[in-house]
Amino acid sequence: MLFEIVRRRKIWYVISLLVLIPGLISLFVQGLNLGIDFTGGNIFEVRFNKQVTVNELRNALSEYELQDSVIQQSGGNDYIIRTKELSLAESGKVVSGLKSKLGELTVMKNDQVGPTIGKELTRNALLALLVAFMLMLGYISWRFEFKQGVAALLALIHDVFVVTGIFSLFQLEVDSYFVAAILTIIGYSINDTIVIFDRIRENMLSRKKGQSLEELVNSSLWQTMARSINTVMTVIFVLLALFFLGGSTIKIFVLALLIGVFSGCYSSIFNASQIWVDLKLMEGNKKKAAA
């Protein structure tokens, strides 16, 4: 006797709401902690004459309250530093301070990213999400049926709001890497959902007489469960290795992926197919009422 996942779908909906609602409230109350890609700031590219570590560079920047800047080693002794917006005098003091603490350096680039670029990035990010959603809805509707497309889209929106809500709650910085993480999460989540929908379609063709839709979907979920768990665990092992060993530069990016992969696995198993079941049952009830 298989554990009834589909018949307990209200429980899974409640769990999703318990995760989503605090994040949505946080989004409305305090918003997101936008990085310089969205708000504007300075991007330094410097080359030191001697070997310098990221921790040494971050400690040197802390004197100017820039310890939270994004620091990326671009090869050898070259570093890219993303800071909040600085005036010409302030950026000159930062460069002089780095020279005095860490030795001679060459400033390869010192660009100021204005808020105009930030607005353009925000618009492009939202446009990319909208295009991705519409293309997926169209493909799934053509490959399966429109109701499954709607169910998959709602599950994807669930994943996006879970990640953005958690980032808002804990005020984790959101930058262009976050946008890349969201798009990656969408791709992962929809892949798992399509595998489940494909198994449901196969089972619909050989549906037993008297078998309810809930029983069929529940059986389909369990037939793909091992695949879903094995896939998500493989991805999580890699992401955990990157999170703990990959350096501070990609920590936030990997954290977004970790949250999204968990959410994507959950929504594929416990939300997408259940939403489709409810839509099909509603359709059946309307037909009975009309008859």
Instruction: Dump pLDDT digits (tens) for 74-83.
Output: 777 889 888 8
Q: Mean per-residue pLDDT for 219-237?
A: 94
d(Cα 155, Cα 268) in Å, to the nearest integer?
Answer: 7
Q: Which of 234, 158, 243 is nearest to 193 (CA)?
A: 158
Positive or negative: CA dihedral 206, 147, 135, 167 = negative
Most confident of 76-85, 86-95, 201-210, 272-281: 272-281
Provide φ and ψ at 53, rounded to 5°.
Answer: -90, 165
> What pLDDT sits at residue 118?
67
Convert 166-175 to b/e letters by CB count within 10 Å (16 or more is b): bbbeeebbbb
Residue 291, pLDDT > 70, answer no
What residues contact 219, with CB distance under 8 A and at least 6 apart?
2, 203
Angle separating helix axes 176-205 and 251-267, nearest 10 degrees: 20
pLDDT at 142 over 70: yes
Q: At what angle do helices 9-29 and 146-169 cross, to 10 degrees?
A: 50
User: For residue range 167-202, what is the model confidence (pLDDT) as tens digits?
Assistant: 999 999 888 788 889 989 998 899 999 999 999 999
Give span(s): CATH 1.20.1640.10, the chain. Answer: 9-35+117-290
Q: Which residue matches tokens 């929809």? A: 190
Q: What DSSP string runs through 239-281?
A: HHHHHHHS-GGGHHHHHHHHHHHHHHHHHIIIIIHHHHHHHHH
Does residue 110 sit in helix, strand or coil? strand
Q: What is the CATH number of domain 41-113?
A: 3.30.70.3400
pLDDT tens by residue, 200-214 = 999 998 888 888 999
The phi, psi pair for 243, rounded to 5°, reads -65, -45
CATH topology of domain 9-35+117-290: Multidrug efflux transporter AcrB transmembrane fold (1.20.1640)
- For residues 198 and 10, what is the distance between their CA atoms, to the nearest angstrom? 23
pTM: 0.84
Distance CA 141, CA 277 (A): 16
Higher pLDDT, 112 or 187: 187
The arithmetic mean of pLDDT across residues 142-156, rounded, is 93
**Cβ–Cβ < 8 Å for 193, 266:** no
